[in-house]
């Protein structure tokens, strides 16, 4: 296993839409293993392949205290969502140190495949439902801060860009050799 690099907001690669997985092989299994190592090390409770610059529909989740209940969701889709919604305080490994309330359906039913390609369904509520929906947003190129007001989003973006510059990293036109 090897730890992967987690992209940080506002990296434009976080906005790429992931493609469906069509081949269920050793490469996919290794990706899931590497994502798990990365997520547990971060530490986090969910990770989408988009966050590690792999633009395939792969999500992993483990909300257990013991970190031994990892579930991989390949090509996940919400097949049902409750009408009742709840605001949950969310954070993200790609937006370190930032937490804010996001309103989402309280319960969902998700259909996905496992690493061998076998289909399964899961009904989730509370933290598990939030985590799955949050990670599935990444597959659509959406980061949770996009649910926030433009003012909050811009403040977060500015703060994280300053941190990146301080660490010697930069994204955007200047990083690509262009002008701002």
Please give the annotated binding residues for Fe cation, written as ranges. 92, 134, 138
Mean pLDDT of 111-117: 98
Residue 171's pLDDT is 53
Residue 2's pLDDT is 85
Residue 49 lies in a domain: yes
Percentage of the chain beyond pLDDT 70 is: 93
Residue 180 lies in a domain: no
CA–CA separation, 155 vs 49, rounded Å? 26
Q: Which pTM was predicted?
A: 0.90
Taking only the tens place, the pLDDT of each residue in 31-60 is 999 999 999 999 999 999 999 999 999 999
Residue 142 lies in a domain: yes
Taking only the tens place, the pLDDT of each residue in 62-75 is 999 999 999 999 99
Residue 120 lies in a domain: yes
Residue 97 lies in a domain: yes
User: 135 catalytic, yes or no?
Assistant: yes
Q: What is the CATH number of the domain that holds 64?
A: 3.90.45.10
Count up the domains in the chain and report the number: 1
CA–CA separation, 44 vs 6, rounded Å? 11
Domain containing 31 equals: 12-170
Residue 7 lies in a domain: no
Taking only the tens place, the pLDDT of each residue in 131-167 is 999 999 999 999 999 999 999 999 999 999 898 888 8
Taking only the tens place, the pLDDT of each residue in 77-98 is 999 999 999 999 999 999 999 9
Q: Which of these is catalytic: 135, 163, 164, 170?
A: 135
Residue 179 lies in a domain: no
Residue 6 lies in a domain: no
Q: How far is CA 26 from CA 41, 61, 64, 117, in A?
A: 22, 20, 26, 12
Which residues contact residue 31 at a Cβ distance below 8 angstroms, ignoring those fewer than 6 apart?
49, 54, 56, 58
């Amino acid at each position: 296993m090897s730890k992967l690099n987690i992209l940080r907001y506002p990296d434009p690669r976080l906005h790429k839409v992931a493609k469906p997985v069509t081949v269920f092989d050793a490469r996919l299994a290794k990706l899931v293993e590497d994502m798990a190592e990365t997520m547990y090390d971060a530490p986090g409770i969910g990770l989408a392949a988009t966050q590690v610059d792999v633009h395939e529909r792969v999500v992993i989740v483990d909300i257990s205290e013991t970190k031994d209940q990892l579930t991989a969701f390949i090509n996940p889709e919400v097949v049902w969502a409750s009408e009742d919604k709840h605001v949950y305080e969310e954070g993200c490994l790609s937006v370190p140190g930032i937490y804010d309330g996001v309103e989402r359906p309280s319960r969902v039913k998700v259909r996905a495949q496992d690493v061998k390609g076998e289909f399964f369904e899961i009904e989730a509520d509370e933290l598990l439902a939030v985590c799955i929906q949050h990670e599935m947003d990444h597959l659509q190129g959406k980061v949770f801060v996009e649910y926030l007001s433009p003012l909050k989003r811009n403040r977060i973006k500015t703060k994280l860009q300053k941190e990146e510059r301080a660490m010697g990293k930069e994204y955007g036109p200047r990083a690509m050799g262009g002008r701002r």
